[in-house]
Structure formats: C-alpha cells, structure tokens
Amino acid sequence: MARKKKKKSNAYWTLITECAISAYNQCQYEPTLKERIYKRFIYPPLLKMAENLINKIKPEYIRKEFKELQIDLVVYLTERLDKFDPIKGRAYSYYTRTSFHYLWAENQKAYNKLKSNTDPIDVDINRNVTIEMYNDEMRETLKYFMDAFVESCYANLNIIFTNPVDIHVAESVLHLFETRDIIEEFNKKALYIFIRERTGLETNNITKVVKVLKELYQKKWIEYEQTEFINLPF
C-alpha cells in the first residue's frame, strides 16, 4: 500500500515562488517586469511567511503593532532577495532562517532597551531571550530536517538497503520517526520492543538497520550544517 503523503504546512510557498525569486534576480535591466513578478508571485508568500513566523516566535519585547512588524520583516526579506543562491538550496529554507535571525535580533534589541529603561527589580535578569529564541528556532530546524530525512529515506529504501528484511525494519523505524510527535515515551528499550512487535524480528536485525540510518542521519546533518541550513530537500 502506498504511503500517504503528509500535507505540507507551507502550501503558500510553491515551486512557482522559488522560480519567481530566481526570475526576479535575473531582471536587472527590466524594472517593470521585475516589479510585476514581485507583486504577483513573491510579495504574497513573503507576507504569509512573516505572519506565520511572528505568530510562531512571538517576539514579546518588540513594541510594534503586528502589521507593522510584519511589513518590516517583508521589507527586510525583500532587500535580501538578491542574496539567495539557488545552487545552495531552497529559497523557502533560506528566508525562513533569515526571518528567524531578524526577529531574534530585533527582540534582543528591544529587550536590552527595556532593561536599560526599567528598574532592575522589574526585569528577570536570569532570562536569556536570545537563547530562548535560538532553542525555538533550532527545534523548528530539526523538525524540518527530520521530515526531509524521512522522506528521503522512504524514497531511497531500495538503494540504502537491498535485503527485504532490512527494508521491512527500516520502514518500521521510519514510521516511528514520522509519528514522533505522538510518541509519549522515548525510552530506547520501549522503542525497540515496539519495532520487534511490528516486524516480528530479533533485536540484532533491528540494531543493524538503526546503525545504518544513524550514520546516514549524521552524514546528512553535517551536509545540512555546512550549507547554512538551507540545502533541503536532499
């Protein structure tokens, strides 16, 4: 039975958006066409991206109306459209990370200003806003990476493994990765028992497959880091 594709959460950002950004950057001597491409194909996705990320991050120390912050972020991203290099990955990944960096910096500046203008007793001096936002962003990055990793493994199972038994085990392991959000217990022993019950195989069969997937995961993560977290999908 074919595995159902998960519905993408970033439906507003399509292949057309990716192509439009490349076309926009190539229209250096055609300002009218460049503006038409931007207004029709780029501005709406940037606006939606800004809305989603502000809602996700909730930069509480920035004293701006939501719409004002949203437009400021879109302007910031627009000024950096020419910084994107399609050879290094997807524009969606690049501008998502760029947005996080912008909101981090703006929130930290606002927090520092608040500290300088407020009685020390009113501010939590033990709080590190930058670290909090970094942790949130890294969780999102890991989620995005893991989703892409699972999709890539499913698509290449017959290349990664040639033994039908190993493929069966790998499918069960990937199923766990895919449904990780609803797993209540991440105890290693419990997960091995789950896979054994699902496959009917012994632990040594499972361990061999897990080792291969682990090494592939580490290799892909290093590649992902070296491309500044934008080289997805694989």
27-75 pLDDT, tens digit per residue, is 888 989 999 999 999 999 999 999 998 998 888 888 889 999 999 999 9
Q: What is the mean pLDDT of residues 209-223?
A: 87
Residues 8-20 pLDDT 10s: 455 899 999 999 9
The residue from 77, 93, 127 where one domain ends is 127
Does 117 or 27 have the greater pLDDT score?
27
Q: Are residues 63 and 107 in the same domain?
A: yes
Contact 170, 209 (CB under 8 A): yes
**Residue 155 lies inside a defined structural domain of this protein:** yes
Q: Tell me the percentage of the chain whose pLDDT exceeds 70.
A: 78
Q: Are residues 69 and 106 in the same domain?
A: yes
Q: Are residues 21 and 95 in the same domain?
A: yes
Q: For the chain, how many structural domains are there in total?
A: 2
Q: Are residues 64 and 153 in the same domain?
A: no
pLDDT at 2 > cutoff 50: no
Q: Are residues 20 and 65 in the same domain?
A: yes
**Spacing of C-alpha 160 from chain mean position:** 24
pLDDT at 141 > cutoff 50: yes
Q: Are residues 83 and 156 in the same domain?
A: no
**Residue 2 lies inside a defined structural domain of this protein:** no
Q: pLDDT tier at 227 (50, 70, 90 boundaries)? A: low
Q: Are residues 195 and 119 in the same domain?
A: no
Q: Are residues 161 and 71 in the same domain?
A: no
- Domain extent, residue 115, equals 13-127
**Spacing of C-alpha 161 from chain mean position:** 27
pTM, to two decimals: 0.53
Q: Are residues 58 and 161 in the same domain?
A: no
pLDDT for res 7? 47
Contact 104, 130 (CB under 8 A): yes
